[in-house]
């Protein structure tokens, strides 16, 4: 299998082995082992949910440092439209674009502009696609969703639109434009995306649906933010730089992509857990009347990406304001069709189902494992507490059968075992081997003699003798009671005591 590399990684030192991330992962890709979270690489879709929930900030996204830019003579920034919503004091998009030039980029190419082209393309292919597909066409813009579908929704792989993401189109166009402008060889031109999320970092560096990466680096919005804030301060009258309209800028938040197409029978779903529910419904054909589904892994859409700075709700409102300020004629703009051919907008590789949830390639074996899993799961408490390091009791049962966990990992099972061991210990402790019994009978005789002595002293007439094998810690009263109730024993006892009388 192809080695998958991820942007989402763990800072081991910071991880305390709590269970916050394992419970939130939509593909159950995280387990706690040796007190630290570990990510199963083939299951991770880089959605960033674990980054969002980690109270220790031990999960992080890996991206390129800004100094990567220095490798190139001519540097082009590809700002995601989400970037525009991050700044309180940016009066319009031109301010943000001018600030990018100020921090060291030689040119900017708006991803929002490419988004408008993708919207046009989608609107064009939709009627044709709907003839073939019974169910809705699914947006291919969010890479975390593409990966989610490829591992969890095999039936929907064909419903995903086979077009590259706006950032990829922007990168191709930006590179060609820069080559034309400067006459420099391609290796001197550096094209950098400013990303709101780790999923886009991974998707651009290790593309799934085409072969060669189209960008030279992916920077984090968080990191660039600090530099831009300082630069924005210095900008008074930015030049006219913006090329994208309302349609493209709107892509930053959930619903923007669908609106840009002018599609009415669409739904826009945000937040990975909501997405999973909706995809389940698409699979059962519950949503066949819907034409197009826009899916964003992050809450609120890209503005909710975990590499952004601004609260997504504030960013969303700001983006709405900014997109209303741009000139309406910019809505008609798009990527120069002479620079990027329509065929280049399509994926060159097909999206394939990765059956990583499959227990075994041989169905007979998989069935036996499944039976075993169900049997094991039935013995677990079903509380899904996560203390075993797996996200649910069922996941632990799967892990046990797959040999990567054991029953004792369950704290309740461990307690049961300890209780059983304890009971066993008590039994062992209480049992007296025959040889011990003889020895203890001797000592008991001595005690019994003492007891008799005492009884004589207190004037109680008693026939208490050795109470047989029942134990040596009995008090005089116990011995008395026994002598009274257990006839034969008592008689034996009397026999023993007789010579004394």
Partner 1 sequence: MAEVIRHTWQVLADDYSTAGEASASLKKVLKQLGFAADIIRRVSIAMYEGEINMVIHANGGTASAEISEDRITITLADSGPGIPDVGLAMKEGYSTASDRARSLGFGAGMGLPNIKRCSDDLKIETEVGVGTTLTITILA
Pairing of strands 107-108, 217-220: unpaired
Q: Which of 184, 265, 342, 366 binds partner 1 (CB under 8 A)?
A: 366
Task: Please state the closest distance from residue 149 (CB atom) to partner 1, in A.
Answer: 11
- Give CA–CA dist 52/213, Å, rounded: 27
Residue 441 CA to chain centroid, in angstroms? Answer: 67
Q: Which of residues 262-281 bind partner 1 (CB under 8 A)?
A: 280-281
The tokens for 468 are: 């047989």
- Give CA–CA dist 182/236, Å, rounded: 28
Q: Which stretch binds partner 1 (CB under 8 A): 116-124, 141-149, 343-351, 361-369?
A: 361-369
By rule CB under 8 A, what string of x and - marks binding of each residue 294-333 to partner 1? ----------------------------------------
What are the Cα distances from residue 106, in Å, to 98, 146, 185, 454, 481?
10, 33, 16, 108, 103
221 versus 278: smaller Cβ distance to partner 1:
278
141 versus 278: smaller Cβ distance to partner 1:
278
Task: Please state the closest distance from residue 370 (CB atom) to partner 1, in A.
Answer: 5
12 versus 371: smaller Cβ distance to partner 1:
371
Q: Which of 358, 383, 418, 425 binds partner 1 (CB under 8 A)?
A: 358
42 forms part of the interface with partner 1 (CB under 8 A): no
Task: Please state the closest distance from residue 372 (CB atom) to partner 1, in A.
Answer: 10
352 forms part of the interface with partner 1 (CB under 8 A): no
361 versus 430: smaller Cβ distance to partner 1:
361
By rule CB under 8 A, what string of x and - marks binding of each residue 227-256 to partner 1? ------------------------------
91 versus 273: smaller Cβ distance to partner 1:
273
Task: Please state the closest distance from residue 358 (CB atom) to partner 1, in A.
Answer: 4
133 forms part of the interface with partner 1 (CB under 8 A): no
**Residues in CB range of 101: below 8 A, 6 or more apart:** 107, 108, 241
126 forms part of the interface with partner 1 (CB under 8 A): no
User: Which helix (H) or strand (E) covers residue 436, if one does?
Assistant: helix 434-458
The tokens for 501 are: 């009388």
Q: Which stretch binds partner 1 (CB under 8 A): 9-17, 92-100, 248-256, 360-368?
A: 360-368
What are the Cα distances from residue 267, in Å, to 134, 296, 332, 356?
16, 11, 24, 29
Q: CA 40, 354, 41 angle in degrees (round to 5)?
A: 15
Provide the Cα torsion 64, 68, 73, 76; round to 10°.
20
Query: What residues does 76 pair with on adjacent strands?
Result: 107, 191
- Cβ(167)–Cβ(199) below 8 Å: no
What are the Cα distances from residue 39, in Å, to 27, 145, 158, 207?
11, 18, 28, 20
18 forms part of the interface with partner 1 (CB under 8 A): no
**Which chain residues interact with partner 1 by CB under 8 A?**
152, 154-155, 157, 280-281, 283-286, 353, 355, 357-361, 363-364, 366-368, 370-371, 374, 398
């Amino acid at each position: 299998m192809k080695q998958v590399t991820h942007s989402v990684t763990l800072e081991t030192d910071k991880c305390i082995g709590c269970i916050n991330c394992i419970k939130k992962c939509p593909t159950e890709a995280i387990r706690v082992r040796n007190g630290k979270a570990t990510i199963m690489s083939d299951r991770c879709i880089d959605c960033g949910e674990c980054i969002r929930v980690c109270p220790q900030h031990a999960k992080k996204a890996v991206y390129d440092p800004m100094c990567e830019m220095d490798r190139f003579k001519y540097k082009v920034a590809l700002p995601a439209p989400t970037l525009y919503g991050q700044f309180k004091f940016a009066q319009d998009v031109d301010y943000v674009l001018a600030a990018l030039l100020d921090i060291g980029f030689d040119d900017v190419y708006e991803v929002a502009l490419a988004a408008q082209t993708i919207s046009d393309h989608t609107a064009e292919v939709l009627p044709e696609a709907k003839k073939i597909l019974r169910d809705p066409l699914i947006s291919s813009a969010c890479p975390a969703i593409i990966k989610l579908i490829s591992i969890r929704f095999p039936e929907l792989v064909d419903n995903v639109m086979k077009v590259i993401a706006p950032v990829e189109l922007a990168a191709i166009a930006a590179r060609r434009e820069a080559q034309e402008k400067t006459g420099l060889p391609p290796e001197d031109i550096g094209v950098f995306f400013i990303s709101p999320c780790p999923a886009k970092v991974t998707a651009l560096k290790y593309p799934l649906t085409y072969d060669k990466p189209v960008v030279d680096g992916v920077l984090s919005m968080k990191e660039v933010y600090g530099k831009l804030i300082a630069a924005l301060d210095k900008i008074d009258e930015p030049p006219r730089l913006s090329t994208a309209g309302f349609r493209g800028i709107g892509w930053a938040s959930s619903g923007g992509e669908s609106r840009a197409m002018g599609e009415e029978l669409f739904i826009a779903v945000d937040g990975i857990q909501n997405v999973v529910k909706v995809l389940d419904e698409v699979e059962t054909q519950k949503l066949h009347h819907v034409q197009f589904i826009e899916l964003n892994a992050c809450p609120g859409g890209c503005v909710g990406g975990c590499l952004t700075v601004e609260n997504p709700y504030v960013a969303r409102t700001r983006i709405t304001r900014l997109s209303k300020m741009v000139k309406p004629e910019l809505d008609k703009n798009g990527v120069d069709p002479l620079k990027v051919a329509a065929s280049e907008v399509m994926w060159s590789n097909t999206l394939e189902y990765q059956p990583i949830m499959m227990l075994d390639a041989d169905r007979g074996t998989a069935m036996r494992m499944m039976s075993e899993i169900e049997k094991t799961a039935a013995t677990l408490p079903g509380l899904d507490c996560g203390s075993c390091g797996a996200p649910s009791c069922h996941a632990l049962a799967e892990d046990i059968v797959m040999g990567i966990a054991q029953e004792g990992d369950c704290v309740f099972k461990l307690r049961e075992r300890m209780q059983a061991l304890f009971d066993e210990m008590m039994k062992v402790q209480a049992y007296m081997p025959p040889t011990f019994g003889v020895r203890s009978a001797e000592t008991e005789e001595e005690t019994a003699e003492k007891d008799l002595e005492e009884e004589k002293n207190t004037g109680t007439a008693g026939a208490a003798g050795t109470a047989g094998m029942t134990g040596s810690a009995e008090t005089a009263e116990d011995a008395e009671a026994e002598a009274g109730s257990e006839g034969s024993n008592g008689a034996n006892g009397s026999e023993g005591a007789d010579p004394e009388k």
